[in-house]
Structure 1
């Protein structure tokens, strides 16, 4: 049982392993949720991949393998106090076991979990090539997600859906027939409002933070926002290029 615990991020993964044909699947999550529930978040370039025996299965007749990825250019965004030096990460060797495969000589944004003194990543963690992230999401990862971990993101799976508390933001990408990397996931973080920390709302990754000005971000061509769902909106400070923040559908 111990060997399975580290393969499943807390509250985000559901592994369906009833038959050999089944694979690991993950509950849809906004990137901020994956960030906030992880022990670590970091940028790193992958040097190499090696398979080695999983020490937790050494007593098995045939020990299971685990993939070790050697890293360089590591920049820890969250969790530097837990792992001041990070040179390796570990993952199950296949997606059947909730593992991920990283490409060598590629820089990634990764979230992971501590298991003893080792960092493990899995299919349900945030695993993205850094070059594929648009500017707002890079800014959210580097700056804003960690400021919003006291907020709650509520996933809308079907209509009607709503938020019920001031610290909630409604995530509607899935009901727009988009996948989990939809418009809100790519562009927004759910943050406490500066003047009222108990009230959370969506914040565009390139919108000025308190103390900053529009001039800091005026060179970015904002991604076009989909048409808003029919909704009643509570007045707030919804960021540039958007119309609604707290949808009640």
Structure 2
């Protein structure tokens, strides 16, 4: 990892520790929309680990969704931890594939404490479409929590988790993308990945 990235990570970790104090609280991670993970990390890979247990370097890359050409040559997955603060060891199952996002440093992908690492079998068809083509179109937009609709800027989409009925709370996470709309002067709005119609909350599976 280069010095700039290392300094940024260390500063963020120390700030987190200073603000929270209790390391148990510090290790709690806020939910992250898949689009946020796609846009904020250097690489996003679909991999299959050959061994179960702690995350390890015995894996093969199935697909590169984001990253430079050299991402195909990644051989190592490292976890960024500070002794005594959030020393979490990711567990993997060799019977499933995983999608991971992290910072690229040579032939190593570094996973943060709150890394985006999900079983591929848990990823919805809509999210798979997002990783393949749609999330990259929304990286100029921001996804925000806890704002009223009237307080957001034109490049923000509100993640309305707490204001939705229980049966719809995961819908934006699993089925929607935040994209700029040309017809609205570039304003960012939610679109259903199943229908790609602005503001649609209809659940529709994609044709594979």
Query: Which of the five TM-score ranges fits, normalised by the shorter chain?
Result: 0.7 to 0.9
Alignment of 1:7-22 (within 5 A): 14=16, 18=21
Determine if the alignment matches structure 1 residue 114 to structure 2 residue 75.
Answer: no
Residue 124 of structure 1 corresponds to: 114
**TM-superposed deviation, 1:192:** 1.3
- RMSD between aligned alpha carbons? 3.7
Correspondence for 1:146: 136
User: Is structure 2 residue 149 aligned with structure 1 residue 188?
Assistant: no
Deviations 1:138-193 (A, max 9, x none): 11122111110001111127xx5544321111111134476xx7211111110112
Q: Unaligned regions of 5+ residues in structure 2, if any?
A: 204-208
Compare CA radii of gyration and give the structure with the larger one.
1
Mark the CA change 1:137 to 1:154 in structure 2 (over 3 Å): closer, same or farther.
same
For the residue of structure 2 that corresponds to 1:68, the secondary structure is coil
Tell me whether 1:47 sits opposite 2:50 in the alignment. yes
Whole-angstrom distance in 2 between the partners of 1:44 and 1:165:
37
* TM-score, structure 2 as length reference: 0.73
Q: CA deviation at 1:7?
A: 6.5
Q: d(CA) in 2 for partners of 1:162 and 1:138? A: 31
Kept in 2, the 8 Å contact 1:6–1:113? The answer is no
The answer to whether the Cα contact below 8 Å between 2:34 and 2:173 also exists between their aligned partners in 1 is: yes
Q: Distance in 2 between matches of 1:99 and 1:123?
A: 9
Q: After superposition, what is the alpha-carbon deviation per residue over 1:89-120, rounded to whole angstroms, capped at 9, x for unaligned?
A: 12258993244222223201111112454211
Asked if 1:133 corresponds to 2:90, the answer is: no
5+ residue gaps in structure 1?
A: 52-66, 210-236, 243-249
Is 1:86 the counterpart of 2:35 in the alignment?
no
Structure whose residues are more often helix by fraction = 2
CA distance in 2, matches of 1:109, 1:183: 20
Are positions 1:239 and 2:169 aligned together? Answer: no
Q: 1:13-49 CA distances to partner (integer Å, 9 max, x unpaired)?
A: 9468845755612233222112211111111111137
How far off is 1:50 after superposition? 8.8
Whether contact under 8 Å (1:203, 1:239) holds in the other structure is yes
Which of residues 24, 33, 40 in structure 1 aligns to 2:27? Answer: 24
